[in-house]
A and B are shown apart, each in its own frame.
Chain A
Amino acid sequence: MSRGVYIIGSGEAKYGELWDRSLREIAVEAGLKAVESAGIRTKDLGAIYMGNSLGGDISMQEHLSALMSDHAGIASEFVPSVRVEASTASGAAAFREAYLGIKSGEYEIAMVGGAEKMTELYGSEIIDITSSIIDREWEAFTGATPAALAAISARKYMADFNVPREILAHISVNDHANASLNENAHFRNKITLEQALNATPIAEPLNLMDCAPLSDGASSLILASENYVKEHGIEGVKIMGSAMSQGEFALHSRKSLYTVEPTRIAAETALKQAGIGIKDISMVEIHDSYSIYGLMALEDLGFAKKGNAREIVENGIGIDSNLPVNPSGGLKAKGFPYGASGVGQIVEAYNQLKNKAGKRQVKNAKYAMTHSQAGSGAASIVHILGVE
């Protein structure tokens, strides 16, 4: 027996370098805002799913789900909670677990949280820790970092399809333009193509402006069953498709250095569940932790054939374009708190579909797609949301 699942509320703590705020503080803020926005009471929660990737290594704090719910003052409600980890897709994975929990009939209402505190450590040390999202023994051991692997994909992609650096840079320029309209974004400044092209090299051919920043941040959503939504006359946003797929862990194990097969399969599955086609999508939030991953995602999700994402980018991906990409500001400019980003993308999609996105509102948004990727592409999670 399965049933419809809806999003009925959202909350966020601003993304950024929040040196004065702790992991538990931002997680609690986002969670309580979501409860408030959904108009429910914490005692109504059937379960809490918390996405977090590196809390153990960065803050030396595990079991964030329990810590967060206690500090939200709801220990006395005895709500079951669990932390979900799938590296940079942890948030989307937590969201999917909550969706499945309600769909199965076990819960009527569930909370999803995503939180990460990336700025607790400085400089090169955090690069070592973030390299735990790639193969420690056979990639990171040799000097590979997440950025280095993205750069290896980028060089091959640019050579095989004759794509100039400008096309990659457009992804970041678009993110910054959109984030300038998002008060929860890490970066509010617009950048020019020249600035994007001439930043400090990180792993050639990628520079600082191709790479999402280390951000602190937390996002939260409240999910409810179809029964609950109907009984209470709530106009939620429907989760029409939810799919996760997983492939080879290390980049060197994949057939192609610029194809994330799990993205292709997850998108296909989610679209089929939703009963719509890729052309019906009104807006998409993609996992552009590195600009090259943005281009790869547009292709693997099905918006363009392999090697042709440049056509979409050249046609425009802004908020008023045919395919608005990352109206939130994306991972590059809204920010990239690992475990929060996957939830944050869905918060954006929810607000867009509720027509509550303010200055960055996408016109006539009906169906939104969100895409979260783990590491260099070991796994992908795709969701499709819609309003009836």
Chain B
Amino acid sequence: MGELSRMWREMPSRYRMEGRKCENCSRVYFPPRDICPVCHRDSIGKMKPVDIAGNGEIISYTVVHETPPAFIRQKPYVLAIIKLDEGPMITGQIVDSEPEEIKMGSRVKSVFRRISEDGKSGVIHYGYKFTLEK
């Protein structure tokens, strides 16, 4: 039950990469935040939804060989920290490429994919992953 309500709650961010923009300082946050860590109380009520384009650059990455149960069928997979063009950094997988093609500094764009399968609850999670800009 908890898993389903979490899925529903996070859908806008997971499916459309909806972030937050602080209207006090214009900084963009993704994952979304309810309080701007720069403006603190001045940001209350001013954190407005904003769509993230999903384009960015790989800052660093790893090839994951030991995984939790929900990711076993995908291994090995590339996991990266990406700096989005809007400013924030996020964590996500790089797909549709061999690990050898991936470099720090590579440009990526977001794609909508199946993220994981939870064996226990049978829930399939969807959301953003990234592919190299060709």
Chain A interface (Cβ within 8 Å of chain B)? 124-125, 127-128, 131, 137-145, 147-149, 151-153, 155-156, 159, 200-206, 250-253, 257
Contacts and interface: CB of A to CB of B under 8 A. Distances in A.
18 contacts: A124-B67, A125-B69, A128-B68, A137-B31, A138-B31, A141-B116, A142-B115, A143-B93, A145-B67, A145-B68, A152-B80, A155-B60, A155-B62, A156-B60, A200-B65, A203-B64, A205-B62, A251-B81
A155 B68 CA distance: 22
Contacts of B31: 137-138, 250
B60 A257 contact: yes
Nearest to B83: A252
A53 B64 CA distance: 24
Residue in B90, B93, B115 whose Cβ sees the most chain A Cβ within 10 Å: B90
B121 to A, nearest CB: 13
Interface in B1-46: 6, 10, 31
A138 B115 CA distance: 12
Interface string B90-121: 11110000010000100000000001100000
Interface of B: 6, 10, 31, 59-72, 74, 77, 79-81, 88-93, 99, 104, 115-116, 125, 127, 129
A205 B65 CA distance: 11
B55 to A, nearest CB: 16
A151 B62 contact: yes
Give 9 nearest A-B pairs by CB, closest first. A151-B62, A128-B68, A156-B60, A204-B63, A252-B89, A138-B31, A203-B62, A152-B60, A124-B69
A120 B77 CA distance: 27
A256 to B, nearest CB: 10
B127 A141 contact: yes
Contacts of B115: 141-143
Counting chain A CB atoms within 10 Å of each CB, the highest count among B6, B10, B81 belongs to B81
Given A203-B63, A203-B66, A204-B65, 14 more contacts: A124-B67, A138-B91, A141-B116, A143-B68, A143-B77, A143-B93, A143-B116, A147-B64, A152-B61, A156-B104, A202-B65, A204-B63, A252-B91, A257-B81
Nearest to B31: A138
B91 A250 contact: yes
Given A124-B72, A250-B91, A257-B81, A147 B63 contact: no
B131 to A, nearest CB: 15
A130 to B, nearest CB: 9
Contacts of A128: 68-70
Contacts of B61: 152, 155
A202 B79 CA distance: 13
B46 to A, nearest CB: 20
Nearest to A136: B6
B68 A202 contact: no
Nearest to A153: B60
B47 to A, nearest CB: 16
A214 to B, nearest CB: 11
Contacts of A206: 62
A141 B62 CA distance: 16
Nearest to A139: B91
A199 B74 CA distance: 22
Contact of B67 (A143, A149, A200): A143
Given A142-B93, A155-B61, A137 B10 contact: yes
A339 B65 CA distance: 26
Contacts of A140: 68
A140 B60 CA distance: 17
Contacts of A153: 60
Contact of A142 (B10, B66, B92, B99): B92
A253 B79 CA distance: 16
A163 to B, nearest CB: 14
A185 to B, nearest CB: 23
B62 to A, nearest CB: 4
Contact of B79 (A127, A138, A143): A143
A141 B125 contact: yes
Q: Which of the listed residues A131, A142, A155 has the most CB atoms from chain B within 10 Å of its own CB?
A: A142
Contacts of A138: 31, 90-91
A356 to B, nearest CB: 38
Contacts of A143: 64, 67-68, 71, 74, 77, 79, 93, 115-116
B93 A201 contact: no
